[in-house]
């Protein structure tokens, strides 16, 4: 890759919350390498739920050195004054390039976005009008799994997806963030298992009874003592208190207490992570710890699997797979509910034993 010596402004258009931002990290790293002297500005949406469960993208990227500034537009409702404010901000920046780092979009959505940037004075947008293959997840050799969203994203803006590796998922945590993590964990003197039992999408939720059963099995079978540290949003605090109530070791419930980057710094010190297909899963994966992930089959297998932990994913390929449902009533969540606590506990044992 050739590093350009431009020092102008680059706008990166990327929407979503925690997981969406984390799978885009490789593209942000590659853009920073390509434009080391430029000011990179993130154009993104406000959290989809007002910040109850969804974290704002700028909370993840600011402080990493990957972006220098952000512009937010309101999500979920049309506001002409807000739209004109964003257009005015873009015009003032006079960007030399806009990078379209977006989820899969329909042709109509792409046309609408092109019109928006045209009104903002931008004629060419990198990654906006690309071959349909760049808007599709390729099937991997072997025929069972699909390429990850991280891989598709870097292809869509012209980078080589063969260069994808763990280093490109780094949040570039700072020493002050790691110092904060040490203070938070000051009372935890033994190795800990990180867990996240919540899910923004109801169909991704394994259920409190299964989580309780899993922890009960682990408590009675782990050869060494482990603490539990819980991650999630504020509204998941009481649920974590209930699920971990019979854990024999120390429990630290951090739901709603930390920023995404502080959470990453704490997760970096965990022995292992266990959770749903969720933002905290991608956060744990980004810091390179072993992740056991319990997936519903609402998306194609592989697309949202955590990088480097694909073999630790529990995913049932059922007839209704790739349904895209947020709430499943017709099939009673057969895909995720068929995953048994015993098999998850066995995999946890295997990974913890490998670390001894």
Under 8 Å between Cβ of 86 and 113: no
Low-confidence ranges of the chain (pLDDT < 70): 1-2, 5, 49-54, 223, 356
CA–CA distance, 236 with 231 (Å, rounded to integer): 9
**In contact, 120 and 83? CB cutoff 8 Å:** no
Count the helices and strands in the chain (H runs, E runs): 13, 10
CATH 3.40.50.2000 intervals, the chain: 9-169, 176-355
Q: pLDDT digit string (tens) for 59-94?
A: 999 999 999 999 998 877 778 888 899 999 999 999
The model's pTM = 0.94
Whole-number pLDDT of residue 7: 80
* pLDDT of res. 101: 96
CA atoms of 221 and 38, how far apart (whole Å): 54
The CATH topology of domain 176-355 is Rossmann fold (3.40.50)
Single out the residue of 27, 23, 61 nearest to residue 41, CA to CA: 61
Contact 143, 111 (CB under 8 A): no
Q: CA-CA distance, 92 to 69, in Å (whole number)? A: 14
- Rg over alpha carbons for the chain, rounded to the nearest Å, is 21
CATH class of 9-169: alpha beta
């Amino acid at each position: 890759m050739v590093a350009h010596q431009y020092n102008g402004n680059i706008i990166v258009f990327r929407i979503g919350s925690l997981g969406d931002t984390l799978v885009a990290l490789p593209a942000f790293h590659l853009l920073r390498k390509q434009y080391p002297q430029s000011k990179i500005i993130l154009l993104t949406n406000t959290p989809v739920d007002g910040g109850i469960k969804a974290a704002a993208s700028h909370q993840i990227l600011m402080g990493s050195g990957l972006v220098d500034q952000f512009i937010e537009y309101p999500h979920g409702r049309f506001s002409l004054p807000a739209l004109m404010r964003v257009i005015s901000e873009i015009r003032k920046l006079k960007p030399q390039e806009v990078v379209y780092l977006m989820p899969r979009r329909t042709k109509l959505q792409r046309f609408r976005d092109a019109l928006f940037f045209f009104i903002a004075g931008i004629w060419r947008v990198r990654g906006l009008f690309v071959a349909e293959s760049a808007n599709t997840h390729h099937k991997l050799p072997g025929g069972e799994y699909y390429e990850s969203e991280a891989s598709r994203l870097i292809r869509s803006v012209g980078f080589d997806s063969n260069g994808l590796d763990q280093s490109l998922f780094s949040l570039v945590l700072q020493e002050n963030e790691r110092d904060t993590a040490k203070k938070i964990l000051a009372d935890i003197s033994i190795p800990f298992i990180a867990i996240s039992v919540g899910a923004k999408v109801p169909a991704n939720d394994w259920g409190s009874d299964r989580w309780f059963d899993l922890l009960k099995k682990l408590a009675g079978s782990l050869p060494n003592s482990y603490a539990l540290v819980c991650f999630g949003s504020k509204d998941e605090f009481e649920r974590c208190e209930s699920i971990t109530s019979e854990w024999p070791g120390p429990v630290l419930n951090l739901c709603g207490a930390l920023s995404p980057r502080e959470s990453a710094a704490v997760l970096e010190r965990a022995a292992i992570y266990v959770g749903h297909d969720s933002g905290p899963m991608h956060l744990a994966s980004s810091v390179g710890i072993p992740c056991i992930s319990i997936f519903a089959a609402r998306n194609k297998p592989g697309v949202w699997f955590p990088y480097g932990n694909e073999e630790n994913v529990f995913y049932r390929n059922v007839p209704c797979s790739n349904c895209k449902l947020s709430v499943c009533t017709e099939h009673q969540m057969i895909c995720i509910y068929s995953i048994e606590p015993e098999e998850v506990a066995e995999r946890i044992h295997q990974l913890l034993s490998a670390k001894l």
